[in-house]
Structure 1
């Protein structure tokens, strides 16, 4: 697809054309097989921990959106995959340097050409987003979408870091829970149920 074709497809919301830029979901899930995955959220409370070495020791480190990393001691420094629902600035792209970008947002007009043509690019299907939204009764966070996606794989283990469901707010912004469209209480309960059903998943 040319850049012009991409812009036309994005403007017209031509999902089938945009999906042709993405690796198949089956291929993405296959890449998780037997992996120890660290999914790093952006809760401010994570900055007060010493989880960094544990995060970097995972087979695959996945971070979210702006992926703030205030210190190596708390956050580690490696990013293999970056799950996005916002546009990435040039400075953040260079700082984070992910090997693969996953576009999780249903808002396709925010998707840029550089991201869509990056190596291993993945576009999360709208049907998956809508199914999780219906289950939660509210728009899911990027973190929730990633937990849902990873849990469907044959990964060996998933460790969640920096997930306190907005109790300590976010390192990536100043908004409060009532200023964002997510149901953090509902997501917290949903994750608790998932962890009870799937012992591969742990929250730190």
Structure 2
């Protein structure tokens, strides 16, 4: 049996939470991520390079992961909490790994997919999860620019760059505008802060 979701809901309830996106725009800056009660990161952020650590800290209280990651066993062995977000590939997980994971409910994924009209990103799913359990807490988003820039870990091959330039390939399957609208309305204004990825954007 996987980890009971009620435990996660209790852990996040009424907390001051930082959810850290993976935009490369945060590089060269410093944000007070580790000062929050709970720090949530996503996907490849479980092993941040030094430059990203200097920008968005090092603490990880929860890692949200989408898709089959070959490092999943190392993740659950290294981190205190890991939540598997996407509905696909869950059947590929071993029983031993499943027992250490929390799971984002598939019915929440389906509802979010229908709302967005596109496949939700890990970040959007994480916001949806937090908004349902945060109670009187506060959520601060760092490194979210709704796909205006690439993730710090994204690398394109020459073929991918050519296909992007020709318009034959999209950089991602998500709808940044729809996700931005959903996230900005996910919580009351006094419970949600979206920190600009560049200080010049704050004005």
Is the shorter-chain TM-score for this pair beyond 0.5, marking a shared fold?
A: yes
Asked whether 1:187 is paired with 2:179, we answer yes
Residue 105 (str. 1) matches residue 86 (str. 2): yes
User: Retained in 2: the 8 A contact 1:56–1:77?
Assistant: yes
TM-score between the two structures when normalised by the length of structure 2:
0.78
For the residues of structure 2 that align with 1:97 and 1:110, how far apart are their CA atoms?
A: 22
Q: What is the number of residues matched between the two proteins?
A: 179
Distance 2:35 2:43 in 1: 21
Runs of at least 5 residues in structure 1 that lack an aligned partner in the other structure = 1-19
Tell me the CA shift for residue 33 of structure 1.
1.6
2:34 pairs with 1:56: yes
Does the C-alpha gap of structure 1 residues 202 and 21 become closer, same or farther in structure 2, counting only changes over 3 Å?
Answer: same
Partner Cα separation in structure 1 for residue 41 and residue 35 of structure 2: 14
1:87–1:110 Cα contact (<8 Å) kept: no
Runs of 4 or more above 6 Å deviation: none
CA drift of 1:193 comes to 2.5
Output the aligned Cα RMSD.
2.6
Match of 1:115 in 2: 97
Aligned equivalent of 1:173, options 154, 167, 178: 154
Pick one of 193, 199, 203 that aligns with 1:202: 193
Corresponding residue for 1:13? none
Matched, 1:144 2:124: yes
TM value normalised by structure 1:
0.77
Determine the structure 2 residue equivalent to 1:130.
Answer: 110
Are the structure 2 counterparts of residues 179 and 83 from structure 1 closer, same or farther at C-alpha, using a change threshold of 3 Å? same
